[in-house]
Structure 1
Amino acid sequence: MSQKYGPNLSQEAMDKVLQEEDTGYLGLADEGKPYVVPVSFAYLDHRIVIHGATTGRKLDIIRRNPRACFTVSRHIDRTRPHQAEGGCTYRFESVICQGTAEVVDDPVIRLEWLRRFKDYFYRKLRLDPAADPVTEKAAQHCSCIVLRIETMTGRAKREAVAD
């Protein structure tokens, strides 16, 4: 990691990045082979909450090896050409979380997390979550993964980049 740019984000700044973004990358290890998948997520109670299909590779991997990494990044500037003389830079913010992922199998707990997940997005979109609640039947057809964050680091470069 570059010492010049991090880690330098406070907990408050990392929380803000995680609250404002809605796509991240879940990194898992499948018998020693890396597997990274983009996911939509909610940041609730210092946890990453992910929903998806009830079957699939990420669920299988988590059940075998729950250790996980989760990354969110955003570029403040548009991508620019890299110049030969030290111009390989742009403004960014990123957060990396490490912890233990759990596939929530208990139907009551899964329903609660899925409702909170949907509420999270509806509120971001300024919609009424009560208008379209997650039902028990719907929750039976959706998985829920909760990543309990053990460590979190964030870094940013916010200085202006010359054209």
Structure 2
Amino acid sequence: MFRKQRRPRQALTEEESIEILNRHGVGVLSLNGDEGYPYGVPISYYYDDGALYFHGGRRGHKADSIAANPKASLTVIDHSETYAEEYANNYCSIIAFGKVEVIDDPDEKLARLLAFTLKFVPENPEHTEEVVAKDVRGVTVFKFTIEHLTGKVGKYTDRAQSAMKRD
């Protein structure tokens, strides 16, 4: 169903890709938007056991696009550095493919929104819990179930250099 990477020796392992998902919390969610145009929107997320969780409004381009077609991808760039003299780029990125659904269960919705918020604001969990409990009704929480995860390093990274020496 999903294409194989064109340069498999530069591929990240699943564990390395998950590490990047956990290390970061911002990526670009790509959806099928209005009139068939691609819709890429930056989102904050957190990863848990094969799924990404994020939130948004009840209405809007993102929610409407997901309702019309739940298939999506998320791109996270771990790092990127250009070497002008060599016309090369040292990079590391991942792409997750999967389907997005709305979490309707009120208890799960609250738990996921709280976990999301604590990822970004871990300093005062008691206060965070109060704020989230007040705001949860006005927020939509989405679950992005990952069906395929792929990652790649540029040929100038240390890891890629090691991989190329094995070939």
Q: Tell me the TM-score normalized by structure 2.
A: 0.79
SS in 1 for 2:115: helix
Q: Tell me the TM-score normalized by structure 1.
A: 0.81
SS in 1 for 2:121: helix
**Contact persistence 1:14–1:95 (CA under 8 A):** yes
Which residue is equivalent to 1:95?
A: 94
**Amino acid of the structure 1 residue aligned with 2:90:** R
Instruction: Output the aligned Cα RMSD.
Output: 2.2
Identity fraction in percent: 31
Match of 1:57 among 46, 58, 61: 61
Which residue is equivalent to 1:19?
A: 22
**Contact persistence 1:97–1:150 (CA under 8 A):** yes
Deviation at 1:152, TM superposition (A): 0.4
When residues 12 and 63 of structure 1 are mapped into structure 2, their CA distance, relative to the original with a 3 A threshold, is same
SS in 1 for 2:101: strand
Query: Would you say 1:131 and 2:127 are equivalent positions?
Result: yes
When residues 71 and 61 of structure 1 are mapped into structure 2, their CA distance, relative to the original with a 3 A threshold, is same
**Contact persistence 1:75–1:90 (CA under 8 A):** no
When residues 152 and 129 of structure 1 are mapped into structure 2, their CA distance, relative to the original with a 3 A threshold, is same
Deviation at 1:44, TM superposition (A): 1.6
Q: How many residues align?
A: 151
Say which structure is richer in helix. Answer: 2
Match of 1:144 among 132, 141, 145: 141
**Contact persistence 1:118–1:129 (CA under 8 A):** no
Which residue is equivalent to 1:156?
A: 153
**Amino acid of the structure 2 residue aligned with 1:117:** F
Q: Which moved more, 1:144-153 or 1:87-96?
A: 87-96
**Contact persistence 2:117–2:128 (CA under 8 A):** no
Note the residue ranges of structure 2 that are not aligned, 5 or more in a row: 160-167
**Amino acid of the structure 2 residue aligned with 1:130:** E
